[in-house]
Amino acid sequence: MGYNPDKPMDGRISDLGPPHYEKFFPPVIKANKGKWLWHEITQPGVLLHKSETGDEVYTVRVGSPRLVSVEYIREVCEIADKHCDGFLRFTTRNNIEFMVDSKEKVQPLLDTLTSYGNKYPVGGTGAGVTNIVHTQGWVHCHTPATDASGVVKAVMDELFDYFTSMTLPAQVRIALACCLNMCGAVHASDIAILGIHRKPPMIDHKRITGVCELPLAIASCPLGAVKPAKAMVDGKEIKTVKVTVERCMFCGNCYTMCPAMPLADPEGDGIAILVGGKVSNRISHPKFSKLVIPFLPNTTPRWPETVAAVKKILEAYAADARKYERLGDWAERIGWEKFFEKCDIPFTEKSIDDYRLAYDTWRTTTQFKFTSHIK
Amino acid sequence: MPTIEHNGKSFEVDEDGFLLKGDDFNQEWVDYVKGVEGISEMTDEHVKVIDALQEYYKKNGIAPMVRILSKTTGFPLKRIYELFPSGPGKGACKMAGLPKPTGCV
């Protein structure tokens, strides 16, 4: 039955939830669920899992741009039909995994993937750089300070060799969010790329009455910079808000709540780089990433400054960190002053926390190292 | 922004069909939204929800939280969805002439 707009509730099906995941298990996964003994990475992008029943599963991990067309998905399905009996999965970092149940089937699959050129790059395993978790950017969102897909493509092009190899001390997770809503993983990633604003919102008094719930805009401000105010519009006094510019740190929360307070600005907006976050509990506890570069411009379409900054940090880490050491572990071991020196990043006052619980982040010890990179 | 004509009255609305000026609210608006939201007949319960929303908005400058709407009207969320199939935000607030809900919706 087709949808009838005159009777929208007729024959309406709802609250089904997603289909049960077991329906989409490859047979070998279904048969060995909960029985896996060990696994190994046979080569970058290829994993082997061994079951107590003796069964083997070879997984081939492939990079994807996350934002894909139906044509792309159909092509992925074709590959899965040809080699994996029609089964495949996506990882939590939006890579694609093709699974086969014997070693002989791996090479033909790899050959098929290679035949597409770099469209389906095999990699993303072990101590390398896997896919970048990212957001919508200028493709779809209304609050971004930078683009997502464009920056991700530029960065991954530069770091491509790290995707297809496993040469780093530990895996490096890179994430991007196009505003500090931080959709995704930037607050807890080894290297995080974050869109930021540098100008206060512009208030459109003409529209504000109809489109804003003023108390929400006022309550949305983390610094109490938005205050109720009155303004004259067409000779009539209306209720509106004003922004204390000296208190505003350009988070954009008020624009999220109130469409009449836009703050995006081509020159003001750009990118901040944060580093040192992680979510695993391996050896050290999970960490938040910390701000190290306060501003890089939005230089479309290749963001050369951002790409260079990410690469520099990654290479300094790769050259200096010990095996198994995540970027944050490394920075904490050598001390953040040494991190700034080794990565040749000028330290600015923007990296000094000044928000509420800031005190704990300052140095309350005489233990520090002299550094020399800033004259 | 588009203008909607209904029963001889005209309304300025945004692309989602929310009133841009709350002052434009009147019975024709209710009648118009009734059509687009798939509500076959206005009942006292519909009116009670609309009145509660408008009263709260007039007093506080914001739309009530869902729990407050349920408490003041006495309708559980399920009933509100039965009355307004699009829900309290897209359905009831639109009909009541309140601003479009914002945030990550």
Question: Residue by residue, what is the 3-state secondary structure of A211-225?
Answer: HCCHHHHHHCCCCCC
How far B8 CA lies from chain A's nearest CA (Å)?
22
Is this prediction's pTM over 0.80?
Answer: yes
pLDDT at A375: 63
Confidence of residue A223 (pLDDT cuts 50, 70, 90): very high
Extract the tokens encoding B21: 């000026």
Check residue A194 and give its pLDDT.
98
Task: For residue A258, give the nearest of B20, B57, B102 by CB distance.
Answer: B102
Q: How far is B74 from chain A (nearest CA, A)?
A: 24
Classify burial at A287, counting beta carbons within 10 Å of its beta carbon; exposed 0-12, middle 13-18, buried 19 or more: buried
- B76/A contact by beta carbon, under 8 A: no
Interchain proximity B38–A211, CB inside 8 Å: no
Q: Percent of chain A at pLDDT above 90?
A: 95
Strand pairing class (A236-243; A46-51):
unpaired
B105 touches chain A (CB under 8 A): no
A181 min Cα distance to partner chain B (Å): 10
Nearest CB neighbour to B103, from listed A210, A239, A257 = A257
Give the pLDDT score at B104: 87
Over residues A37-69, the pLDDT tens digits come to 999 999 999 999 999 999 999 999 999 999 999
Q: Read off the pLDDT band of A372 (50, 70, 90).
A: confident
Nearest to B100 among A209, A211, A256 (CB): A211
Is the Cβ of B14 closer than 8 Å to some Cβ of chain A? yes
Residues 6+ apart with CB under 8 A from A140: none
User: What number of other Cβ atoms are within 10 A of residue A90's Cβ?
Assistant: 12
Mean pLDDT to the nearest integer, A168-173: 98
How far from B76 is each of A57, A300, B105, CA to CA, in Å?
A: 50, 50, 21
Q: What is the pLDDT of residues A226-285, one digit of tens each?
A: 999 999 999 999 999 999 999 999 999 999 999 999 999 999 999 999 999 999 999 999
Contact A145, A178 (CB under 8 A): yes
pLDDT category of residue A10 using cuts at 50, 70 and 90:
confident
- Please report residues of B whose CB lies closer than 8 A to that of A182: none
Q: Which tokens in the block code for residue A279?
A: 């979510």
From the list A139, A142, A120, the residue with the least C-alpha distance to A261 is A142
What tens digit of pLDDT does each residue of A281-313 get?
999 999 999 999 999 999 999 999 999 999 999
pLDDT at A374 over 80: no
pLDDT digits (tens, 9 = 90+) for A14-28: 999 999 999 999 999
Query: Residue A5: its pLDDT value, please?
Result: 85
Judged by CB atoms closer than 8 Å, whether chains meet at A211 and B19 is answered as: no
pLDDT of residue A205 exceeding 90, the answer is: yes
Q: What average pLDDT does this structure show over A99-123?
A: 96
- Picking from B21, B99, B102, the nearest residue to A256 by CB comes out as B102
Task: Judge whether A283 and A329 are in contact, CB under 8 Å.
Answer: yes
* Parts of chain B with a pLDDT under 50: none
Q: Parallel, antiparallel, or unpaired for β A56-62 and A46-51?
A: antiparallel
Chains A and B form CB pairs within 8 A to the count of 45
Distance from CA of B39 to the nearest CA of A (A): 9
Adjacent-strand bridge partners of A275: A191, A290
Burial of B50 (0-12, 13-18, 19+ CB in 10 A): buried
Q: What is the pLDDT of residue B44?
A: 96
Nearest to B85 among A8, A210, A239 (CB): A8
3 state SS of B21: coil
- Asked if the C-beta of B100 comes within 8 angstroms of chain A's C-beta atoms, the answer is yes
Average pLDDT over residues A342-367: 96
Cross-chain residue pair A8–B100, CB shorter than 8 Å: no
B93 is catalytic: no
Which pLDDT score, from 0 to 100, does residue B105 have?
81
Mean pLDDT of A165-174: 98
Least confident interval from A147-151, A182-186, A338-342, B35-39: B35-39
Interface of A with B (CB under 8 A): 5, 7-9, 181, 207, 209-216, 239, 256-259
Q: Nearest CA of chain B to the CA of A140: how many Å?
A: 13
Annotated catalytic residue: which of B3, B44, B67, B104? B104
Q: Which residues of B touch A210 (CB under 8 A)?
A: 19-22, 99
